[in-house]
Amino acid sequence: MILRKAFFLFIPVLSVLACQKDASKASLTAPADEDCVQLKSLGNGDTIPGQYIVLYQSGVVGSVRSEATVKTMSEKVLLKNNISKKYIRETFAGARGGFIARLSREEARKLASDENIDIVEPDRVVALSTCFTVVAPRLITWNIDRVGYGDGTGKKAWVIDSGIDFAHPDLTVDKTMSKSFISSTASADDENGHGTHVAGVIAAKNNSFGVLGVASGATLVSLRVLDKEGKGTLGAIIQALAYINANASTGDVVNMSIGEDEGVSEVLDKQVQATAARGILIAIAAGNDHEAANKFSPGRANASNIFTVSAVDSLDNFASFSNYGNDVVDFAAPGVRILSTYMGSKYAYMSGTSMAAPHLAGLLLLKGKNIISSGFAKNDPDGEADPIAHY
């Protein structure tokens, strides 16, 4: 459901782009990629009752990137609409700015017609589903060999995910800049495993153990939007993007291996585009629905600094689960049976476009937008073979 001037109904579901198995059942055999798409996470919620994300019209907040300014402004807007300011839960700055509030449906309608406000959209549960198998590591895996790799030392990647294992010896995490956007904990450490896996594909260290990332040794910032069960909210993702907007530098890279299962979020799309417009490069997973990628946010958001990524296997075959469509997909990258770092200083296999996007993120760190391709995805279902990203 998106509330605009014309208020219409729409109930999307968010998920992270891989699938989940119990760690206690870990074996040395990697899961078949098909496992990963059938296991849609349970509790992949719809809307959060009574909670809304409000995005201002362009130019209303101006170029100010202070949350305090946005908060003052938001309180005034609520007052004008006879809504108590105590219902504001969070504010976010950035290109547009906005807030997250507890509201009745009627109040949400009222705000949607306020001249300062562009969109009022229900906040939603984001749920993760990943397959993983904990295994012994090896240094250069097929996927890193396939796309190429280099020294990422001194570069920075912002990972919007379930957190990153702060203690993993194969990762360099900037704990000071890392931040949690989930209400249950202030720690941006990883209690799920998904974010640590993504982080390792981007930047696992070039040392004598574990795995090697595409841009080895790059600094990782954990922006935690998912809890240990892989659940979070759309609002948390939007806050994380606003935080990046306020703190990242031109040339930094953002990885978003998260997205929606059943629909779009205009607020999310616009926040991603606003971040990209600042010269920040963004890799986004295309999604695992085996459907047109343009049906899902944020993968559908196009802009020159946004790279939506489909998945291929070790034989360059288009992954059975991957979303497709060259109207939004920019590159393919490895996403089937990918070995990477895992929480608890471990290593694990995972499959999904969640694993494809961080290959792009690593390449963006190394080369900026000048990524080349090497070969094409075989059996691409949209009939237009995706170029496979390469260093």
Q: Supply φ then ψ for residue 301, to 5 degrees.
A: -75, 115
Assess 386 for contact with Ca ion (CB under 5 A).
yes
Give whichever of 51 and 341 is closer to Ca ion, judged by the CB atom.
Answer: 341
State which of residues 47, 91, 294, 308 lies at the interface with Ca ion (CB under 5 A).
308
Burial class of 293 by CB neighbour count within 10 A (0 to 12, 13 to 18, 19+): buried
Cis peptide bond prior to 387, omega within 30° of 0: no
Assess 269 for contact with Ca ion (CB under 5 A).
no
Q: Which residues are catalytic?
A: 161, 194, 354
- Compute the least distance from the CB of residue 8 to Ca ion, in Å: 26
State which of residues 60, 88, 225, 328 lies at the interface with Ca ion (CB under 5 A).
328
CB atoms within 10 A of CB 125: 17
Assess 346 for contact with Ca ion (CB under 5 A).
no
Q: Which stretch binds Ca ion (CB under 5 A): 5-13, 107-115, 156-164, 377-385?
A: 377-385
Using CA atoms, how far apart are residues 325 and 381, in angstroms rounded to an integer?
8
Assess 210 for contact with Ca ion (CB under 5 A).
yes
Give the three-state DSSP class for 388.
strand
Q: Which stretch binds Ca ion (CB under 5 A): 20-28, 151-159, 208-216, 244-252?
A: 208-216
Closest CA to 97 of 245, 278, 296, 279: 245
Q: Which stretch binds Ca ion (CB under 5 A): 24-32, 288-296, 354-362, 383-391?
A: 383-391
Assess 330 for contact with Ca ion (CB under 5 A).
yes
The two three-digit tokens of residue 214, written as one number: 């595409």
- Compute the least distance from the CB of residue 187 to Ca ion, in Å: 24
- Compute the least distance from the CB of residue 223 to Ca ion, in Å: 22
Q: Supply φ then ψ for residue 112, to 5 degrees.
A: -60, -25
| Phi-psi group of 357: left, alpha or beta (phi > 0 → left; psi -120 to 50 → alpha; rest → beta) | alpha
Which contiguous run of DSSP H or E holds residue 144?
helix 142-147
How would you label 68-93 residue by residue, b for 16+ Cβ within 10 Å and e otherwise? eebbebbbebbeeeebeeebbebbbb
- Compute the least distance from the CB of residue 204 to Ca ion, in Å: 5
Give whichever of 121 and 170 is closer to Ca ion, judged by the CB atom.
Answer: 170
Assess 379 for contact with Ca ion (CB under 5 A).
no
Assess 326 for contact with Ca ion (CB under 5 A).
yes
- Compute the least distance from the CB of residue 57 to Ca ion, in Å: 25
Using CA atoms, how far apart are residues 184 and 379, in angstroms rounded to an integer?
43
Give whichever of 216 and 354 is closer to Ca ion, judged by the CB atom.
Answer: 216
Using CA atoms, how far apart are residues 325 and 16, in angstroms rounded to an integer?
19
Assess 327 for contact with Ca ion (CB under 5 A).
no
Using CA atoms, how far apart are residues 142 and 264, in angstroms rounded to an integer?
34
Using CA atoms, how far apart are residues 313 and 303, in angstroms rounded to an integer?
27
- Compute the least distance from the CB of residue 66 to Ca ion, in Å: 31
Give whichever of 187 and 326 is closer to Ca ion, judged by the CB atom.
Answer: 326
Assess 153 for contact with Ca ion (CB under 5 A).
no
State which of residues 67, 165, 170, 252 lies at the interface with Ca ion (CB under 5 A).
170
Give whichever of 260 and 386 is closer to Ca ion, judged by the CB atom.
Answer: 386
Assess 380 for contact with Ca ion (CB under 5 A).
yes
Assess 197 for contact with Ca ion (CB under 5 A).
no
User: What is the footprint of Ca ion within residues 3-62 (CB under 5 A)?
Assistant: none
State which of residues 302, 314, 345, 373 lies at the interface with Ca ion (CB under 5 A).
302
User: What is the footprint of Ca ion within residues 105-144 (CB under 5 A)?
Assistant: none
DSSP codes of every residue in 346-375: EEEEE-SHHHHHHHHHHHHHHHTT--EEEE
**Contacts with 149 (C-beta within 8 Å, 6 or more apart), sequence order:** 140, 212, 213, 214, 215, 216, 362, 366, 391
Q: In the complex, which residues of this chain contact Ca ion (CB under 5 A)?
A: 170, 204-205, 207, 210, 302, 308, 326, 328, 330, 380, 382, 384, 386
